[in-house]
Amino acid sequence: MLALIQRVTEAAVTVDGAVVGQIGPGLLALVGVEPGDGEAQLQKIAKRLLGYRIFEDDAGKMNRSLLDIGGELLLVSQFTLAADTQSGMRPSFSTAAPPAEAERQFDRLVAICREAHPKRVETGQFRAHMKVSLINDGPVTFLLRS
Residue 119 pLDDT > 90: no
* pLDDT band (50, 70, 90) for residue 97: very high
For residue 146, is it within any domain? no
CATH number where 115 lies = 3.50.80.10
- What's the pLDDT tens digit per position in 7-42? 999 999 999 999 999 999 999 999 999 999 999 999
For residue 106, is it within any domain? yes
Annotation says 141 is catalytic:
no
For residue 114, is it within any domain? yes
Annotation says 6 is catalytic:
no
Q: How far apart are CA 5 and CA 143, in angstroms?
A: 6
Q: Please report the pLDDT score of residue 127 as a whole number.
A: 92
Active-site entry in 6, 41, 55, 79: 79
Find out whether 70 and 126 touch, Cβ atoms under 8 Å: no
For residue 136, what are the domain limits? 2-141
Three-state DSSP class for residue 50: helix
Domain total of the chain: 1
Q: Please report the pLDDT score of residue 36 as a whole number.
A: 93
pTM confidence score: 0.95
For residue 113, is it within any domain? yes
For residue 69, is it within any domain? yes
Active-site entry in 9, 80, 85, 93: 80
Question: Mean per-residue pLDDT for 34-62?
Answer: 97
Q: How far apart are CA 23 and CA 70, in angstroms?
A: 12
Give the Å distances, CA to CA, from 129 to 5, 14, 143.
20, 9, 22
